[in-house]
Amino acid sequence: MAFDFSFSEEVEQVRGVAKSICDKLAPQREKLIKDIHVHRKFPHALWDAAAEAGFLGCLISEKYGGNEMGMLPLAVAVEEMAVNGYGNAFFVVTNMDASCIAMNGSEAVKQKYLPKIASGACKMAFAVTEPDAGSNTFRITTYAKDVGDHFELKGQKTFITGVDESDAILVVARTKSLDEVKALGQPKTFGLSIFVVDSKSPGIELSLIPTHGIEGMNQFTIHFDQVKVPKENLVGELDMGTMALFTSLNPERILAAAAACGMTQFCLNRASRYANERVVFGGKPIGSYQALAHPLAESCIDLEAARLLLYKACWNYDSKKSPFDVGSSANYAKFFAAEMAIRAVDRAIETHGGYGFSEEYELVWLWTSARLLRTAPISREMILNYVSEHNLGLPRSY
């Protein structure tokens, strides 16, 4: 048979475990949700339960304490938690970092970090964005200088999620400046390197950026002032970090799509329930009005399409398809799922009328979360640029 759309028993079990984690949190749900959305407190109870279930070891081999289940079960776990109203960006970020270390790290760096990540003892942030570089990663100026027995990191990263809660940060830095790269006659993709940096290292300072969009976590500008990074914390080859970078960015896009699918299902569940119960005219529930029902039906069809894109991207990743195949499918999945989630939240709020804005229904908080997915982890424009250039062969405009 060419296609089989059924999930394996293992994947179904993972979905069941993710659901039972959410069910167990039900007695404390009201406080937990408020802590996450209003007080922006990190959901330790959710993190600990996910770690205990092995969800942080899916992309890590058994040799380093993981379970090697792969991207599909992980995406299903992320999706199921979001179906139950729990966003989990830090879980996404730590897993994307784990993927990068597992695929590119030296034996020393793998031994040092992967077992701690798999057990949940090491939360990781990811830092590429800089104030003056933004979407143009090759323009970053944070510099790691080789000073003999270690590297010295200097520069600034911005919008870094959850770094205050993190134990380590995967940092993308230049080890050759753009000028040095030019002088060597190399392309601008050359001279980037990736490091694991201990979040408590002397020389690191954080400034809070009041931001919305990611549940239970804050964003910071990180200032690195001559931060000492051990030589063994280099991930992948010196100056050749560009390809390695995508082994974390693709998983991030796939897992962002999974979160968007779960968020959409959450919205549809809430909206359908409310539309069946709410009566305002003539004894019929508002769900009988096609003006409300059809947009929800469209979101239902959207969700089926988004899930197919998502699971194909997972399959490409797990089957170790080419970077082009994994990258393309991760981009398609993230793009479609983000746009879908924005529409779904809007439609669920519309279905709830004024109650859509009440905290009780938990929808209004998802407004910024869904909208953020259009802009981050990669903006819709940069995905469309990628698709235009790499999938359609069109000339680059920038």
Greatest Cα pair distance in the chain: 80
Report the Cα 323 to chain-centroid distance in Å.
Answer: 18
Nearer to ligand FAD, 225 or 381 (CB): 381
Quote the least distance from Cβ 96 to ligand FAD, whole Å: 10
Beta carbon of residue 326, minimum distance to ligand FAD (angstroms, whole number): 19
Give the C-alpha separation, 15 to 21, whole Å: 10
Cβ 333 to ligand FAD shortest distance, Å: 17
Q: What sign does the dihedral 172-178-182-183 (CA atoms) show?
A: negative
Q: How far is the CB of 269 from ligand FAD (least distance, A)?
A: 25
Instruction: Please tell me the number of Cα atoms within 13 Å of 271 on its side-chain side.
Output: 31
Query: Of 320 and 396, which CB lies nearer to ligand FAD in the complex structure?
Result: 396
Instruction: Specify the DSSP element, H or E, that contains 129.
Output: none
Q: Which is nearer to ligand FAD, 126 or 311 (CB)?
A: 126
Q: For residues 127 and 257, which CB has a smaller minimum distance to ligand FAD in the complex? A: 127
Task: Select the residue whose beta carbon is closest to ligand FAD and give its number.
Answer: 134
Do residues 101 and 236 touch, judged by C-beta distance below 8 A?
no
Smallest separation (angstroms) from ligand FAD to the CB of 389:
11
Q: Rounded to the nearest whole angstrom, what is the least distance from the CB of residue 217 to ligand FAD in the complex?
A: 8
Q: Which is nearer to ligand FAD, 142 or 299 (CB)?
A: 142
Do 11 and 76 meet the contact criterion of CB atoms below 8 Å apart? yes
CA distance 235 to 221: 23
Q: Using CB under 6 A as the criterion, which residues of the chain lie in contact with ligand FAD when the complex forms?
A: 126-129, 134-135, 159-161, 211, 213-214, 219, 372, 375-379, 381-382, 385, 398
- C-alpha Rg value of the chain to the nearest Å: 21
Report whether 341 contacts 307 (CB < 8 A): no
Residue type at 33 in one-letter notation: I
How far, CA to CA in Å, does 272 sit from each of 154, 255, 296, 350? 52, 26, 8, 12
Task: Give the nearer residue to ligand FAD in terms of CB position, either 178 or 376.
Answer: 376
Are the beta carbons of 372 and 342 closer than 8 angstroms? Answer: no
Three-state SS at 101:
helix
* Residue number, 344 or 373, with CB nearest to ligand FAD: 373
- Shortest Å, Cβ 89 to ligand FAD: 8
Distance CA 373, CA 398 (A): 23
Nearest distance, CB of residue 127 and ligand FAD, angstroms: 5
- CA 71 to CA 66: how far, in whole Å? 13
Instruction: Report the residue number, 106 or 385, with the smaller CB distance to ligand FAD.
Output: 385
